[in-house]
A and B are shown apart, each in its own frame.
Chain A
Amino acid sequence: MIDLQGVTKAFGNNHVLRGVDLTIERGTSMVIIGGSGTGKSVLLKCILGLVAPDAGTITLEGTDVTKTDRDAFLARFGMLFQGAALFDSLPVWQNVAFRLLQGRDRLPKPEARDRAIEKLRRVGLKADVADRLPAELSGGMQKRVGLARAIAADPEIIFFDEPTTGLDPIMAGVINELIREIVTEMGATAMTITHDMTSVRAISDRVAMLHDGVIQWTGPVSQLDSSGDPYVAQFISGSAEGPIEAVR
């Protein structure tokens, strides 16, 4: 279980997070929605320790994430970045198997390569992409390689940062289906950041809306359309009229 209490973060005078309280139960798929620039990515990076929060606590299974062994903590996570963030200088299979090739328990190269190809197949890519460089792949393929890398070490928790941004609707649907299938079959806890409502409905068990630095509403996806929250209602309808200012 991931628990956030009173998490705040400011960059200069820009108070991005103003006291975020959020609980993500083990094995559930939580999707954080909210407009651009509302701090969704910052929130996710705070949990991973990529950004240090100014105040508040973040616990994983009851242990403060700032007081735990960092390598052991990160070994439980997989992350799909918004732009896939593949390492340009490495071939696809080494990107996917990156974690498996590091550390004390690293696998021999042939075994790591086999595992990478298996994960590539899992995300619908053929083995022949394994030796290509990321720059030779389309955006959708890069995203799938990023997804394969996120699941390569069978993590307990997977973060997805804008998994469908920049993809055509069909590829976005493929990625959404893959995420849902993988999270279900691995039994992983998932946290996804998106403002793509199709993704929200395809991926989530629960939804939280981040607005103005706080969690405005949280609940099961089945209640999203009947939340009664004006912010959520405006967001899911995509209306310019409502409490969320259209010009930010």
Chain B
Amino acid sequence: MNAANPRAAAFDFGIAGTALRARGPEPWIAPLQTAWATWQPAPETTAWDVQFTADARLPLPQGPLFEALPRARGGVCTLAAPGFEGEVSAAVGAAHLRAHPEATPGDVGYFLRVALAMQAFARGGMLFHTAGIVHRGQGYALFGVSGSGKTTAAHLSAPDPVLNDDLVLLWPAPAGWQMYATPFGKRRGDVRVAPLRALLRLIKAPAAALAPLPAGRALGELVANTPVLSADALWLPELLARWETLLRTIPVYALHFRRDATFWEVIDAELG
């Protein structure tokens, strides 16, 4: 940020039942306001205030904010790293990031993502590390550890819409769960939401196959792929319970897949 006293700016951002109002220096806010202009909260949705403050007394950032490990306890998440001091409070319904002026809109976007994860959980949903793919009108969440093939699977699924190849928002619906797109990774197509049909744990293998995933392992994997919340010891029991609730209506499988689209044939045969 070059200007000594940049103008203030603000914009609203939201997905499903979430809503955030970001306020701060224009050089940080304006790029996100433009990039996320179509991600508007639903009318009447109460927004959390997310304030960004430039503070030159902080040390120069040593890296992007996403490299800072979120520390969460009882619905309060702190992010601390050279050049950054941030806190998101679910109880207060607000968040504040002080950052060195050299921080970037990318850092601001990451902080909004953390706030969204907290707010989504507080309101009944979950931000989830997964490739969200819409196939024949149904949403499939292909998840796994880093390097398991989420982006590859999303690429191989063309021309099916990709809600996001890394992060989606799961939200409860009267019948089952909805999977919402987010702007936090790569997308394909304009589809923003689909009914969640299945959760598929990606495993690279010589041939495509669907296999049962033991309940305990599934639960552990799903919790571990729930960003921010999995770091909160006080909220973890509720997070585990919420995933168990979801698993009562949404099946989970291990999806063995190789680098071609044949995995959709086994999915269609079992779930289509």
Q: Do A and B bind each other?
A: no
